[in-house]
Amino acid sequence: MNLALGRRHTSFDRAGRRRRWSDTARDIVLYIIILIFFLPVLWVILTSIRPNVEINTRPPVWIPSYLDFDSYKILLGMPTPEGAFALGTQIPFGNYARNSTIVSLVSTLLSLILGGLAGYTFARFRFRAKNTIFLSMMLGRAVPGVALSLPLFILFARLGLSDKLLGLIAAYTALNIPFTAWLMDSFFRAIPEELSEAAIIDGCSRWGALLRVDLPLALPGVAASGIFAFLTCWNEFALASVITRTPASRTFPPGLYEFTGSFVTDWRGMTAMSVMMLIPSVIFVALVQRQLVEGLASGAMKG
């Protein structure tokens, strides 16, 4: 079992040793910590499926008395019992899902291509002012959404891009390029240069070497950059709340805001939409978490 896991640290720590009570105790501490981190998540999930009367109560109701999926039905436009309280009925869930999906996928793809090319260049070429250019790119990540939202709002209005998906895609692509370039540079540098040189000598073009030799080896890096970029786009609020004005282009995060009315907040509807928002992220992370950590560990972040 331990050998099968194959982590150097694991095999070393337990090499020839029997499992001790302290190992078990350490794992239990870890489970408790993770549980504390998970508690608010659990609460969000429970809130989305409990009957509305149990939500804002004192003394609190911890375990729902029965499961109630009305808030999901309302969001998905399915028939619901008469008089079910929900602001969710007015929320164009389908529009938000479509917009968020298009914006996140397209910007992630674009920033992977553009940032990946930049990362490859930093990793494989020497040129003048390389450090300065690299640092200047990183400054792109230091610009806050709020600071950028002010001028972008005006400029997009003039260019006819406000309330268009294209504007949001452009903004998110730019936001993600610096970090993608950085990560991809790390991953490309971890691949021995001799491999692509050999391919070039064997008659491969530089593009061919990049696509057939370097890129497949850098796939963990693509996974890592991809997930960070995707999560940024999927969850971004400051820019989206300013640039998107109507359901035509609005994405999930500013959409969540609509569950708060002037006097009431539809917690159940909000948590239901949040849970649905989480599903693609959880699937994505569960699929690539191993490549992410092992990729980062395999020399990519060193130095």
Partner 1 sequence: MAIGISARAAGEVRAGQTGMAEGRWLPVVLLMPGIAVLLAVIAFPMLYSLYLSFTNYNLTTARSFHFVGLAQYLTLIKDPIFWQAFGRTVLFMTLAVNLEFLIGLGIAQLMAKAIRGRGALRTIMMMPMMFAPVLIGFMFKWVFNSEVGLVNNILYTLTGTAHIIPWLIEVPLGFISLLIAEIWMSTPFMVVILEAGILSLPTEPFEAAEVDGASGWQKFRMLTLPMIMPFVYTAMAIRSLDLARVYDVVRIMTDGGPGNRTEMIWTYVYRLSFTGHNYALGSAMSYVTVIISFLFTWYLFRNVIRSRWEGRE
Residues from 147 through 166 that contact partner 1 (CB under 8 A): 147-148, 150-152, 154-155
Contact 48, 274 (CB under 8 A): yes
CB of 79 to partner 1, least distance (A): 27
Q: Quick one: which of 92, 140, 208, 247 contacts partner 1 (CB under 8 A)?
A: 140
Distance of CA 63 to CAs 47, 117, 227, Å?
10, 51, 34
Separation CA 185–CA 31 (nearest Å): 35
Residues from 18 through 57 that contact partner 1 (CB under 8 A): 19, 23, 26-27, 29-31, 33-34, 37-41, 43-44, 55-57
CB of 63 to partner 1, least distance (A): 12
Residues from 49 through 108 that contact partner 1 (CB under 8 A): 55-60, 62
Sequence letter at residue 111: S
CB of 234 to partner 1, least distance (A): 7
Q: Quick one: which of 174, 215, 217, 219 contacts partner 1 (CB under 8 A)?
A: 174
- Look at residues 83, 59, 105, 34 and name the one whose alpha carbon lies nearest to residue 251: 105
Count the Cβ atoms, other than its own, within 10 Å of residue 272. 28
Is there binding between residue 289 and partner 1 (CB under 8 A)?
A: yes
Residues from 197 through 236 that contact partner 1 (CB under 8 A): 197, 200-201, 206, 231, 234-235
Separation CA 167–CA 147 (nearest Å): 16
Q: Quick one: which of 91, 165, 222, 256 contacts partner 1 (CB under 8 A)?
A: 256
Alpha carbon 248 to its chain centroid, in Å, reads 23
Stretch that binds partner 1, among 69-77, 79-87, 88-96, 131-139 (CB under 8 A): 131-139
Stretch that binds partner 1, among 74-82, 91-99, 211-219, 253-261 (CB under 8 A): 253-261
Toward partner 1, which CB reaches closer, 26 or 212?
26
Toward partner 1, which CB reaches closer, 70 or 111?
111
Toward partner 1, which CB reaches closer, 58 or 81?
58
x-marked contacts with partner 1 along 105-124 as a string, rule CB under 8 A: ---------xx-xx-xxx-x
Stretch that binds partner 1, among 3-11, 75-83, 90-98, 211-219 (CB under 8 A): 3-11
Toward partner 1, which CB reaches closer, 79 or 217?
217
Toward partner 1, which CB reaches closer, 47 or 70?
47
Is there binding between residue 7 and partner 1 (CB under 8 A)?
A: yes
Separation CA 184–CA 189 (nearest Å): 8
- Tell me which DSSP letter residue 258 carries: G
Q: Quick one: which of 267, 268, 269, 272 contacts partner 1 (CB under 8 A)?
A: 267
Query: SS3 of 265, please?
Result: strand
For the stretch 54-90, what's the b/e string if a residue is b when 16 or more beta carbons lie within 10 angstroms of its beta carbon? bbeeeeeeeeeeeebebbbbbbeeeebeeeeebbbee
Distance of CA 242 to CAs 81, 128, 202, 236, 239, Å?
36, 39, 53, 11, 5
Separation CA 298–CA 85 (nearest Å): 52
